Amino acid sequence: MDKKIERKSRFSKKQTAVFAGVAMVLAAAVWLVAGQSASTMNVDRNSVTIATVQKGEFNDYIRVVGQVTPDRIIYLDAIEGGRVEERLIEEGAAVRAGDVILRLSNPLLNIGILQSEADLAYQENELRNTRLTMDQEHLRLQHDRIAMQKEVTQKERRYLQHSRLHEKELVSDEDYLRAKEDYEAAAEQMKILDRRIERDQALRDRQLQSLNENIDNMKKSLLLVRQRLDNLMVKAPVDGQLGNIEAQVGQSISQGERIGQIITPELKVEARIDEHYVERVHPGLPAGFEREGKRYGMTMTKVYPEVQNGQFRTDLHFVSDRPENIRSGQTYHLDLQLGDPEEAIMIPRGGFYQSSGSKYVYVVDEGGTTARLRPVRLGRQNPTHYEVLEGLSPGEKVIISGYELFGDNQRLNLR
Does 24 have pLDDT greater than 80? no
Highest mean pLDDT, choosing among 27-41, 96-110, 234-248, 299-313: 299-313
What pLDDT, in 10s, does the model give residues 386-403?
999 999 999 999 999 999
The length of the chain, given as a count of residues: 415
Percent of the chain with pLDDT over 70: 91
Top CATH class of 61-71+266-337 equals mainly beta
DSSP string, 6-35: PPPPSS-HHHHHHHHHHHHHHHHHHHHHHH
The pLDDT of residue 22 = 57
Cα torsion 297, 302, 306, 307 to 10°: value is 20
Confidence label for 266 from pLDDT (cuts 50, 70 and 90): confident
Please give the sequence-ordered ranges of beta strands (E in DSSP) within 9-118, or none if there are none: 40-43, 50-52, 54-58, 61-70, 73-77, 82-87, 94-95, 100-105
In angstroms, the CA 226 to CA 153 distance is 59
The DSSP element (H or E) to which 169 belongs, if any, is: none
Across the chain, mean pLDDT equals: 85
In angstroms, the CA 13 to CA 281 distance is 79
Does 237 have pLDDT greater than 90? no
Task: Tell me which of 2.60.40.10, 3.90.550.10, 2.40.420.20, 3.60.15.10 is the CATH number of domain 40-58+342-414.
Answer: 2.40.420.20
What distance lies between CA 67 and its chain's CA centroid?
A: 17
Stated pTM of the model: 0.53
Sheet holding 100-105, edge to edge: 233-235, 100-105, 82-87, 252-253
The pLDDT of residue 291 = 85
For domain 80-104+232-262, say whether CATH 3.90.79.10 is its number: no
What pLDDT, in 10s, does the model give residues 74-90?
888 888 888 999 888 88
* Region 312-324 average pLDDT: 89
N- to C-terminal Cα separation, the chain: 75
Confidence label for 256 from pLDDT (cuts 50, 70 and 90): confident
Does 368 have pLDDT greater than 70? yes
Domain ranges of the chain: 40-58+342-414, 61-71+266-337, 80-104+232-262, 107-228
The pLDDT of residue 14 = 58
The pLDDT of residue 38 = 44
